[in-house]
Structures are given as structure tokens and as C-alpha cells.
Amino acid sequence: MRLVTRADFDGLICGVLLSQVEDIDTVELVHPKDIHDQNVSITDDDIIANLPYHPQTAMWFDHHSSEAGIAGETDFRGCFDVAPSCASVIYEYYSCFDTLKKYEPIVIEADKIDSARFNMEDIRNPKKWVLVSNTLNIFDKEKRFEDKAVYFNRLMNMVSYGTLKDILADGEVRDRVRFLEDEQSRYVETLSRCSRADENVIITDVRDLDYVPNGDKFLVYTLFPEQNVSLNVFNKRKTDLTVISGGYSIFNRTCEAHIGELMQQYGGGGHRAAGSCRIKKDASERVLSEIVERLKTGVN
């Protein structure tokens, strides 16, 4: 079977778990909007995890609250639950399999990482699984590292059968970690230059930049500790689309707007604390302004 999932840490652990209990022979990494827009061919030989529902799939697992409506109205194989991670949904669904018991600690890490339960030190000086997770998010314009899908499968295999020490000692992982460490100071400078506060909303707009240094998206909350929600605005490479992603501050958790539902109104999705949408560039200013105003009032 083919696993269709996201290229993030939660998707990675979903892959680790499912490969132990289902006959997974290939993995395809896609964006949620690719499912919504039917840009990915889905068949009854596929398992979708950590992505929106598709009626042709054999099984579906998800945890994003923006999918709760369709989950409640649809008869499907698999499991949906609003949870800290999709990995935890899968782990509970297959709880009768003793082979998964050893992965409980890594599922707890997926819960922490996907729900952004970090402290300042996790952001400024990431270690262990947080560091591994960060290596999945690299944009490598000079193609110094192996293909994203190849790396994802490499990590799946190492997480399945190795230790954290083995993973951090892997040459590709070490190279990615060093790259992220080298980029961090430039990333912080870019954040400082391209970010502004509009009442409770942090807006980081990098649409005019040809290259944004790699860095942890949560670092912006260390620069704006009083704001409670952020928006990151950038143009998707080689398309006419602008991406607007939003999320609660992980240090000032007072935002009441439902980010996933708000983004869903613009063709995107997510869960309460985070979400994103892709829109045409010529509509980006209008949509960004509307989203900012709604986040300022806390009303979806």
C-alpha cells in the first residue's frame, strides 16, 4: 500500500507506526491543499494520514479540527480525533498491537512537537527530537542535501529500527543540523527586519525576498512576547500563489480565534492553534487584511 502524508515530524511518526502494522511499500509526501484541489490521484490502495479526507482512500487518519465535520458525516475506515498529533490517533487505533508499544515515547514527542508545547530553550537551542524535526523543514536552494522524500524515508527507517543517538550521528542528519546552526543568526535578522506587530498580531511578510534563511518559525515569538498570534506571508516558488500561515504564540496562549476554521474560509485548513491557506497573489493583500482584522477581534 501507499502512505500519503505530510513531510513533517507528525507525518514521519505516522509513517513509522503504519509501516509496522500495514503493508506500506511507498510513501508520497503532499500538501493538504493538494488533497483539497484533487491534485493527487488517490486510490483504494492508499492510506492517508495527517491530511484531509479523500473518498477514494482505503483508510484515513487525521487530527485536525477543520476536518471534524466531514469525519462526523462520513463512513470511513481508520480514525479521526481532535488530538495533539495524528501519530497519537494512529497509536490508539492500533493499541492492540504489542509491536507499537516501544514507540510510545516517540508518539509523546510527536504530540509535543505538533502541538508546539515548547519552552524558550527548545526554540533557541533545540535538542534531541526537536532538532531532528527541524531538519525536515530545510529549504536547500543549492541542493546540498538529499531529496526530501529520500530523507524522509531514511528517517522513517532510522526511527523504526535505530536510536536517537544513531540518528543524530548519521552523516546527512549532522550536515543538516550544521546548516541550520549556520543559518540561525541570519534568520533572526530577517525576522527582525520583515516582522511587525498590529495590535495582538505579528505579521512576517517575506514576499519581496528571493531567499529566506532557514530557521524555527517559533523564534518570532521570542521577538514579540506580548503578541498572541502570528501570520507568515510568502510566495510559493514557481507559482502564482501566496501562502498565509498562522498560529498561536506558544508563550502567550490567549488567542481565542480558531485558526483552522478561519483559514478554511479561504480554501485552507488546520486546527484551532494553527493553519494555513494558499491564495492567488493578486488577492493576497485583501485576504491578508481580512485575516488580520479577524485575528485582532478574535472572531472567525
SS3 47: strand
User: Taking 90 as the threshold, does the pLDDT of residue 180 lie above it?
Assistant: yes
Ordered by start, the domain boundaries in the chain are: 2-169, 188-297
Name the grid cell of 20: 509496522
SS3 48: strand
Burial of 273 (0-12, 13-18, 19+ CB in 10 A): buried
Interval 251-280 mean pLDDT: 91
At 30-70, the pLDDT tens digits run: 988 888 888 899 999 999 999 999 999 999 999 998 899 99
> Phi, psi at residue 241, to the nearest 5°?
-110, 145
Check residue 140 and give its pLDDT. Answer: 83
Check residue 116 and give its pLDDT. Answer: 87
Contact 80, 65 (CB under 8 A): no
Q: What is the CATH number of domain 188-297?
A: 3.10.310.30
Mean pLDDT of the residues in the chain: 93
pLDDT band at 299 (very low <50, low <70, confident <90, very high): low
> Phi, psi at residue 120, to the nearest 5°?
-60, -40
Spatial CA neighbour of 105 closest among 158, 153, 168, 164: 164
∠ CA 140-141-144 to the nearest 5 degrees?
A: 55
pTM of the entire predicted model: 0.84
Element (H, E) at 14: helix 9-21
Q: How far is the C-alpha of 2 from the C-alpha of 51, rounded, in Å?
A: 14
Q: What percent of the chain has pLDDT over 90?
A: 82
The three state secondary structure string of 235-266 is ECCCCCEEEEEEEECCCCCCCCCCHHHHHHCC
Tell me the HSE value of 55 on the side-chain side, using a 13 A CA sphere: 4
Q: How far is the C-alpha of 51 from the C-alpha of 214, rounded, in Å?
A: 24
Is the pLDDT higher at 199 or at 65?
A: 199
pLDDT band at 300 (very low <50, low <70, confident <90, very high): low
Q: How far is the C-alpha of 78 from the C-alpha of 90, rounded, in Å?
A: 8
